[in-house]
Amino acid sequence: MSEYIPENMEEVAVQVAKRQVHGEKVTPEEVIEQAVPDILQVLLDDALEGRYDEVKRDGDQLIVTDAMGAQVGTIAPKGKSFVDDFKEDSDALIDYLESQVAKLVGGR
């Protein structure tokens, strides 16, 4: 994916530490909240071979819109929240996001 997007708790801890060294107060939960939509965006970009859709967080859901701004999908966490899903098993969460991307992209 990207070296700047953490994909597991170890990478989250590294990113938190790096950002705190630079004086930024950030929690692991905040890093995860940004990482999940970023991961989904990368997966969408790969599936569509370019950036045609955009991912935004709305509460604890991810909203996917197309280039015209029309909503093409909503993704909810499997558990209580994406943060909890990531903490519990980040690989399973990424697999889940990949399956959701396949559903969104497959119909186009």
Domain boundaries of the chain, sorted by first residue: 9-106
Query: Nearest-5° angle of CA 86, CA 40, CA 63?
Result: 100
Indicate if the pLDDT at residue 30 is higher than 70: yes
Q: Model's pTM, two decimal places?
A: 0.93
User: Each residue of 82-104: pLDDT tens digit?
Assistant: 999 999 999 999 999 999 999 99
How would residue 21 be classed by pLDDT, with cut points 50, 70 and 90? very high
Indicate if the pLDDT at residue 107 is higher than 70: no
Cα→Cα distances 83→22, 36, 65, 86, Å: 24, 8, 22, 5
How would residue 2 be classed by pLDDT, with cut points 50, 70 and 90? low
C-alpha 17/C-alpha 77 separation (Å) is: 27
